[in-house]
Amino acid sequence: LPTPQETKKFQPPPENINARAVLVSGPPGIGKTTTCTLVAKCSRFKVMEFNTSDARSKAVIDSMTNSLAGNKTLSFGTESSLQRSAIIMDECDGMTGGDKGGLQALINLIQVTKNPVICICNDRSDQQVRQLANHCLDLRFRRPENATVAKRIKRIMETENKKVEIAAVEAIVEACGQDLRQVINHLQFFGSLTGGNQKDTQVMTGTFEACSKLFSHHRERLSIDQRMDLHFVDYDLIPTMVQENY
C-alpha cells in the first residue's frame, strides 16, 4: 500500500472531465477568448464564435441547435477534408439578464450537439452560470501576476523598438487590474505622446511665424503633417496671407 506521503502527489480528477462542453471563467481582459480560439484552431477545428450577450434568447439558441448540432465544414486545399466546428459561446453570464429560457436552451444544445462547445463567462458565482457548470468541464482562469504581465509587455515594447521601465509597467498593470487589453491600450496612448505635445507647439506659434515657416519650406523641408499644423494655427487668416504673398 502506498504511504500517505505518496498519495499527496496525486490530485483527484476534475469533475465532468468527459463533458461535451467546457466552462471557462475568470476576470475580463486576461485572454480567455484568445486562449479558447487558439486551442480550437490548434486542434484543427473551425471556430464558430457567438456572443451570448447578443444571442441570448431561447429562440436564437434553438435555431443554433438545429443548424449547428452536427455541423461540419468542407475545406479545400492541398488535402480536401471535412473539418469539424468548435462552438464558442462568449459572455454566457450575459444571458442571465435576457430571456430566462436562453440558458436552458444552451444546456439543451450542449446535450445534443456533436461538436465541442466552449462557454466563457466573467461572473462564475452567478446562480444560473453555476447551473450551466454542472454540464461542463469547469476551468477557472485567475489574474496573472504583475511581474509576469510586465515582463511580457516589456518584450512587446522591445519588438516595437521602445524602451520602458519594468517598474512603470508593473504600476500600470496594477492600476488596470491585470487587464491585458487596458494595459496595452494605455501603453499605446502614452507612447504616442513621447514625441512631445503638438498642441502646445501650435499655441506658441504666431500667425506670421507660421506663414514664414510655410514659405521657407524649401529650407526646412517640412512634412505634410507639419504644414497642416501650421495651417491650423489660424485657418481663417493664413490662407489669405498665402494668397496675398503669391
Helices (H), 56-197: 58-68, 101-112, 127-133, 146-159, 166-175, 180-191
Q: What is the DSSP string of 59-78?
A: HHHHHHHHHHTT-EEEE-SS
Q: Write down how long the chain is.
A: 246
Rounded Cα distance between 152 and 173, Å, is 11
- Name the β-bridge partners of 89: 50, 119
Distance of CA 115 to the CA centre of its chain: 25
State the cell numbers at 78: 492541398
Q: What pLDDT is recorded for position 147?
A: 87
Contact 121, 90 (CB under 8 A): no
Q: What pLDDT is recorded for position 228?
A: 81
Q: What is the phi-psi region of residue 68: left when phi exceeds 0, alpha when psi lies from -120 to 50, beta otherwise? A: alpha
Q: What pLDDT is recorded for position 192?
A: 54
Q: What pLDDT is recorded for position 46?
A: 85
Contact 48, 84 (CB under 8 A): no
Q: What pLDDT is recorded for position 38?
A: 92
Matching residue, cell 439578464:
97
DSSP at 38: H
Along the 246 residues of the chain, how does pLDDT read in single tens digits? Answer: 455 555 555 566 666 777 888 999 988 888 899 999 999 888 888 888 887 666 566 776 766 666 665 555 555 554 545 678 888 888 887 776 555 677 888 888 888 888 888 999 888 888 888 888 888 888 988 888 888 888 888 888 888 888 878 888 888 888 888 888 888 888 877 765 444 444 455 556 778 888 888 887 666 677 887 788 888 788 788 888 888 877
Rounded Cα distance between 198 and 175, Å, is 27
Q: What pLDDT is recorded for position 191?
A: 64
State the cell numbers at 219: 529650407
